[in-house]
Structure 1
Amino acid sequence: MSFKDIQADFIEAIRRPDLPCPHGIAPQRMGVYRELFFNNVSGFVNSGFPVLKSLYGEAQWQAQLRQFFTEHDCQNPLFIGIAGEFLAFLSARERQVDEPPFLLELAHYEWLELVVATAMEQGDEAAFDDTALAQQAYLDARLGLASHARVAQYHFEVEKISPQYQPDTPLPSPCYFCLYRDSDDEVSFLKLNPMTAQLLAVLEANTGIKYIELLQKMQALYPNFDGQQLREGIAQVLGQMAVRGVVVQKLQ
């Protein structure tokens, strides 16, 4: 048996307590390894999904974690990576009988908060300073969505979900969010109207775009809107988002 095969058997035995211990490893020592690995993974998931965890009893939540640990083939051992793997696990499995209809959207929202909180600043972008904001420099600059900002669409009010509020049915129409890090480096969110969400989505997909190009794309998406109102509305939204650091200037 090759060393790679030995490693694979060892990892599988850690993930599955029902399997016999690998040759040469005492059951007591193997139990320590299993407990250590499971507790580490559980700690990462618990930290990344506190609201989701609060909706379950302890035994039920531990069963979910054990299933994830045993059945899901994690490819990323880092904290943010394990959170993403847990989201992938929830998305891929069959829906459970007692699973709330908002579970996947809530899990995605909590994962996105983590993504925003840990996003690295990019060297090719810069926030608009007070002088640039006063001069409306964002109307001439190459624009982009900040590396620590994300736009998302949900069918449940995920930001309100708690043990006391668990909706049974989706909203009549989707709700849109922008999650971003504020000036205090805290994760914040904005509820967006559909047009603002579309504007930020266009920015995200066309990094380095200029205001005139952005206006043209929005006019194509909203041909029935009055041109003057659309120009003024886009300029106003860009200013508001630039103040919050959501819209930044791309330097390259």
Structure 2
Amino acid sequence: MPNIANRPHFQKLQYAFAAHIRDAHNPAPTGIEPRRMAIYRKLFYNNVQSLLASTYPVLHQILPTEQWHKLIRDYFAQHQATTPLFPQLPQEFLHYLENECEIQPEDPPFLYELAHYEWVELALFIDNREIELTGIDSQGDLLRGCPVLSPLAWSFVYQFPVHKVGPNYQPQEPPVEPTYLLIYRSKDDKVGFIQLNRVSAYLLQALRDTSHTGQQILTEIATLLNHPYPQKVIQGGLEILQEWLRRDIVLGVRRI
């Protein structure tokens, strides 16, 4: 809390009110009936808790009720949010988990990664960018042309298979291989995800890093994999590109 010693009286009351709302251990402002303060505390907390439960439904479902509320109350009391915008509070919660939350023995080891995965869906949904097709031929040849990746196709590497976590699957140790996920928003504003394999992960990274043709990219991947039948890699990669085109992950090829 900032130094409020020299603030006007009404601002001191506001700070005291807010501090007590966030954490009932802080003294309430004088002159306000305790019953009313209890109502305010409950209303504020329930609004924030409800928002986070809807943004992180799997996390909310798998944590025992007491553990969930303990986590949210600590966030509510300790985290200094940098935005007053309600849709951005879930990202504030993610910052809290990453930088401020003290991990407890009962917390699942995938807690942050699961929260991040669930947050990405909201972040993509509210991203105000639209898919722009200027300079792109959506019917172009994906091998001869230079495929264009949608800006609303994001990829992440997780140590845990967070897309599988639920009440019946809660791994306590990460698998040997990390999980590569491609999460995207289509033209009709639907958010989806695809788990990537070795070839598709290489392909996605190449689309981000180069402006080569699909043929050049897939030939390079076949060489990198030292595959005995490069044409099979190229054909398989073309099928991936075609599927991504149907899902609005690839928008087409760059017009020359």
**TM-score in terms of structure 2 length:** 0.78
Query: Is 2:75 the counterpart of 1:68?
Result: yes
User: Secondary structure of 1:211's partner?
Assistant: coil
User: Secondary structure of 1:126's partner?
Assistant: coil
- Residue in 2 that maps onto 1:164: 168
Greater Cα shift, 107-116 or 77-86: 77-86
For 2:212, the aligned partner's letter is Y
- Residue in 1 that maps onto 2:3: none
Q: Give distance in 1, aligned partners of 2:166 and 2:225.
A: 40
Greater Cα shift, 46-55 or 215-224: 215-224
Query: Is 2:155 the counterpart of 1:151?
Result: yes
Cα 1:139–1:71 shift into 2, 3 Å: farther
- Residue in 1 that maps onto 2:120: 112
Residues 146, 248 of structure 1: 8 Å contact kept: no
Query: Is 2:29 the counterpart of 1:22?
Result: yes
Give the drift of 1:183: 5.6
Q: Give distance in 2, aligned partners of 1:104 and 1:116.
A: 18
User: Secondary structure of 1:178's partner?
Assistant: strand
Residues 138, 242 of structure 1: 8 Å contact kept: no
Give the drift of 1:187: 2.2
Residues 13, 20 of structure 1: 8 Å contact kept: yes
Greater Cα shift, 173-182 or 63-72: 173-182
Listed one character per residue, the Cα deviations across residues 146-175 of structure 1 (whole Å, up to 9, x for unaligned) are 32x221112222122111111122111112
Task: List alignment gaps of at least 5 residues for structure 1.
Answer: none
User: Secondary structure of 1:20's partner?
Assistant: coil
Residues 113, 160 of structure 2: 8 Å contact kept: yes
- Counterparts of residues 113-152 of structure 1 (less than 5 Å): 113-122=121-130, 125-126=132-133, 132-133=138-139, 135-136=140-141, 139-140=144-145, 143-147=148-152, 149-152=153-156
For 2:79, the aligned partner's letter is H
- Residue in 2 that maps onto 1:86: 93
Q: Give distance in 1, aligned partners of 2:214 and 2:243.
A: 19
- Residue in 2 that maps onto 1:243: 246
Query: Is 2:194 the counterpart of 1:190?
Result: yes
Q: Give distance in 1, aligned partners of 2:201 and 2:130.
A: 22
Name which of 179, 182, 204 aligns with 2:183.
Answer: 179
For 1:210, the aligned partner's letter is S
Q: Give distance in 2, aligned partners of 1:41 and 1:5.
A: 24
Residues 125, 191 of structure 2: 8 Å contact kept: yes
For 1:211, the aligned partner's letter is H
Greater Cα shift, 163-172 or 42-51: 163-172
**TM-score in terms of structure 1 length:** 0.79
Greater Rg over alpha carbons, structure:
2
Residues 127, 242 of structure 1: 8 Å contact kept: no
Task: List alignment gaps of at least 5 residues for structure 2.
Answer: 1-5
- Over 6 Å off, 4+ runs: none
Residues 203, 221 of structure 2: 8 Å contact kept: no
For 1:84, the aligned partner's letter is Q
Give the drift of 1:23: 3.8
For 1:115, the aligned partner's letter is A
Aligned length: 244
Name which of 26, 30, 36 aligns with 2:43.
Answer: 36
Give the drift of 1:128: 10
Residues 156, 170 of structure 1: 8 Å contact kept: yes
User: Secondary structure of 1:116's partner?
Assistant: helix
Q: Give distance in 2, aligned partners of 1:31 and 1:223.
A: 64
Q: Give distance in 2, aligned partners of 1:20 and 1:67.
A: 17
